[in-house]
Amino acid sequence: MGASDKREEVIQAWYMDESDEDQRLPHYREPKEFVSLDKLAELGVISWRLDADNYENDEELKKIREERGYSYMDFCEVCPEKLPNYEEKIKNFFEEHLHTDEEIRYCVAGSGYFDVRDHNDKWIRVWVKKGGMIVLPAGIYHRFTLDTDNYIKAMRLFVGDPVWTPFNRPHDHLPARKEYIQNFLQNEGGGQAVDAAA
């Protein structure tokens, strides 16, 4: 781990403070509490560092897509100038929700924050920059916002036909949520997150 993990140059994570300030600010705790990519993997959040300037011919990206069955691909640009109904969409993205399938995002330009819940239901902010690709597992509660640069261009990948339906919290009764709890939270004595679904 540490400096030898090239992913850390494009993906960083930390525990968030409880402040209601602008959602696009970093929201570090005082003192800062960084979270390792290994800790994210324990929550089911996996990541890669890829060559964003060469995504059309990137053999590593092709290999990941083949191995994981990501047959669908498109791009989403999130910024005031490019996204219709920008203010409403940004508000919706920041509502805590889950999906019944993986959410795969590969940042090819700009940057943004994906917030995920840990085993104790605390927010971890995951900053994804150009070249970072993350997979949020089905059933994890999460949300998204831009950072203060107000721009991200992300490749969206999906197995089969895309389904982008968000289920705002609480949706603990969904099979995807129950599977997520069983696969990633119960082994850690998941506290509130497990009890909430009981």
Say whether 173 counts as a known binding-site residue: no
Q: Give the number of other Cβ atoms within 10 Å of residue 98's Cβ.
A: 25
Pairing of strands 167-168, 34-35: unpaired
Q: Flag whether 97 is marked binding.
A: yes
CA separation for the pair 126, 92 (Å, rounded): 18
27 is in an annotated binding site: no
99 is in an annotated binding site: yes
Q: Which two tokens stand for residue 198?
A: 């009981």
Which two tokens mark 131?
């070249």
Q: Is 139 within 8 Å of 174 (Cβ atoms)?
A: yes
Exposure string of 25-61, with b = 16+ CB inside 10 Å and e = fewer, is eebeeeeeeebebeebeebbbbbbbbebeebeebeeb
Binding residues: 97, 99, 103, 142
Binding residues for Ni(2+): 97, 99, 103, 142
Binding positions for Fe(2+) are 97, 99, 103, 142
